[in-house]
Amino acid sequence: MLFFAILATVVATGGAVFDCGRDPTLCQASSVCNMAIGQCICDNATTHTGRDCSIVMANLDQTPCTNTSCQNAGTCTGDGTNSNCHCTEDFTGDQCEIPRYLLDCSGGTNMTLSIVPEGNFVNGAIFIEGRQGDVNCEFTQASPDDPYTITLDHTESSCSDADYNQLQDTYTRKVVILYNSDQVTRRDELVTAVCGDNILTKQTSTVTIGMLNQGLRDKGLGNVPLDSDINFDMTLDGNVINGDLSLGDDVTVEVALAEAGSQKYQAFRLEECSATNNLLDNNVDYRSANFIENSCHVPALASVTLQPMTTNSTTGSVTFMFDAFKFSKGDNLLIRCRIKMCEAAANCVPLGCDLTGAGTGLGRRRRRNVDQEKVLGRVLTIRDPLPANGERTWTTVSDTCNVSTEIIGVIIGMSILIFFLLAICTALAIRALFGNKQHVQKDPFSQSPKTQLSHLSFQGRC
């Protein structure tokens, strides 16, 4: 009987996807973040470059940079005295020596996964898919500067067993990276770690960075989207949303006076717009964040806001656009807005807002007058974002050969079967050959062999 040593995989490394939408402060040198694509736009592109616009072109490879200053394809800049390394998405550290994703399967019966998220991760969380809040399934740091790590046995783990593929002899776990532990957006990530074939697969999902704001918790709304005075519509590609949404769908919120409302009111103003997970506000899993406060956009949902409030001068409607997202507790997303209805247009003068984010972004709250206030909203259902669109796979070369015992058994079985078939065919061929000789007669007149073809038989011919 043959025995084969099944060896564990060696360390496998993966990569990261840069997205300044998670934290716009990643963009350097006065550059701005294009939220739609998550890339920094270098305003001074003739002098600066790089994914975060931090590379000064004039300092590329200048003293004291050397060929070994930066590892793993990092770019070195020098000012004559000091040098800096600008790392690719896949690495970090002073010399780009630390991989952002590191999978170690060398233990044979377990896997260790280390992750270094990019940007502000103060409010983030990394956990095994479906196990958020379980301390046995969440990544931890030894110190604030260390990677987030976890080590889990393939089987009989406190965080459930890994998915085992018998044919490939692999163990798989999926890891979710939320850059805000309460919100799930298209900027989050799904990492698939596979021990057994040395592959680390990373898929992109969704995330938001921002502090939660209780906002409209005291408003008992439910789902009441219709009002005779005001139209409150949410559309996708110009069509009213009636079904489920996927993470990243561009949702447009439009508010306008209805025909009946225009006969009563001269103007309106969005005072506040929020998103919640549509749970009761006394539920421990209730989550809420604001798009708009005091008629001004606020940072809480800046990473999913694609277009701030704009007013159509012809129709008087107000719109804003956001990327579909959800909170980590539940798949429903309740969007609701508090709208001030003014009988005199002077009572709904827009407040001064700094929509660039350079200031506080908050307008001064004005004293309420007797004009009516309405609260309208709609509930959206967001499909499960995992796995998300797009997939990137990094493969490393293993130092050992991993062969499945099942595959080896199949090969041995096929070899034995082929051997017996060849033996049977050989025996039948020999039998047929000697059987033919018994049917050969001597012709008494010619004394030459005469083959009686009518008696020849090729039975058992292989």
One domain for residues 2 and 146: yes
Phi-psi map region of 72: left, alpha, beta (phi>0 left; psi -120 to 50 alpha): left
Q: Tell me the HSE value of 291 on the side-chain side, using a 13 A CA sphere.
A: 27
The number of CA neighbours under 13 Å toward the Cβ of 6 is 15
- Secondary structure (DSSP) of 255-280: EEE-HHHHTT-SEEEEEEEEEE-SS-
Specify the 3-state DSSP secondary structure of 121: coil
Q: Is there a contact between 84 and 95 (Cβ–Cβ < 8 Å)?
A: no
Domain count, the chain: 3
Measured CA to CA, the distance from residue 9 to residue 11 in angstroms comes to 7
- What's the CA gap between 110 and 152, in Å, rounded? 6
Rg over CA atoms, the chain: 34
CA distance 302 to 211: 10
Residue with tokens 């532990």: 181
Same domain, 331 and 397: no
Reply yes or no on whether the pLDDT at 415 is more than 50. yes
CA distance 338 to 273: 6
Closest-CA residue to 89 (of 77, 72, 102, 76): 72
Domain-terminating residue out of 381, 416, 438: 381
Q: What is the Cα–Cα distance from 12 to 103, expressed in whole angstroms? A: 5
What tokens appear for 381 in the block? Answer: 């259902």
Which pTM does this prediction carry? 0.66
Give the pLDDT band (50/70/90) at residue 384.
Answer: low
Q: Which residues are paired to 83 by β-bridges?
A: 78
Same domain? 154 vs 116 = yes
CB atoms within 10 A of CB 66: 11
Highest mean pLDDT among 167-176, 222-231, 250-259: 250-259
Residues 185 and 237 in one domain: no
Does residue 356 lie in a domain region? yes
Q: DSSP characters for 173-198? A: EEEEEESBTTEE-TT-EEEEEEETTT
Strand partners, 108: none
Between vectors from CA 365 to CA 340 and to CA 228, what angle results, nearest 5°?
Answer: 5
> Has residue 131 got a pLDDT over 60?
yes
pLDDT digits (tens, 9 = 90+) for 3-34: 323 333 334 444 567 888 888 888 999 899 99
Predicted confidence band of residue 252 (pLDDT cuts 50, 70, 90)? very high
Q: Residue 324, SS3?
A: coil
Q: Would you say residue 125 lies in a domain?
A: yes
* Burial class for 452, CB neighbours closer than 10 Å (0-12, 13-18, 19+): exposed
Residue 51 lies in a domain: no
Tell me the CATH number at 361: 2.60.40
Q: Are 166 and 271 contained in the same domain?
A: no
Give domain status of residue 375, yes or no: yes
Please check the confidence at residue 138 and state whether its pLDDT lies above 90: yes
Partners of 85 in the beta sheet? Answer: 76
Whole-angstrom Cα distance, residue 162 to residue 186?
26
Size (the chain), residues:
462
Co-location of 321 and 296 in the same domain: yes
Q: Is residue 246 helix, strand or coil?
A: coil
> Is beta strand 305-311 parallel, antiparallel or unpaired with respect to 318-323?
antiparallel
Determine, yes or no, domain membership for 23. no
- Residue 28, CB-side half-sphere exposure with 13 Å CA sphere: 12
- What contacts 261, CB < 8 A, 6 or more positions away? 227, 228, 229, 230, 268, 341
Say yes or no: 258 and 197 in one domain. Answer: no
What is the pLDDT, as a whole number, of residue 207? 26
204-217 per-position pLDDT tens digit: 432 222 222 333 33
Strand partners, 333: 380
Q: What is the mean pLDDT of residues 49-58?
A: 93
In a domain, 188, yes or no: yes
Cα–Cα distance measured from residue 66 to residue 95, given in angstroms and rounded to the nearest whole number: 12
Within-domain flag for 439 = yes
Q: Are residues 264 and 334 in the same domain?
A: yes
Q: Are residues 332 and 362 in the same domain?
A: yes
Please list the residues that pair with 39 across neighbouring strands.
Answer: 34
Q: What are the angstrom distances between the C-alpha of 149 and each of 103, 126, 173? A: 10, 9, 14
Three-point CA angle 355, 356, 359, nearest 5°: 85
In tens, the pLDDT along 298-348 reads 888 888 998 888 888 888 899 999 999 999 888 889 898 989 888 888 888
Shared domain for 345 and 397, answered yes or no, is no
- How far apart CA 253 and CA 376 sit, in angstroms, is 12
Q: Are 436 and 375 part of one and the same domain?
A: no
Percentage above 70 pLDDT, the chain: 73
> For the chain, what percentages of helix, strand and coil (3-state, to nearest 5) are there?
15, 35, 50
Q: Kindly state whether residues 196 and 235 are assigned to the same domain.
A: no
Does residue 56 fall inside a structural domain? no
pLDDT at 54: 93
Q: Domain range holding 273? A: 230-381
Q: What is 379-437 written as a DSSP string? A: EEEBPP--SPS-EEEEE---SS----HHHHHHHHHHHHHHHHHHHHHHHHHHHHHHHHH
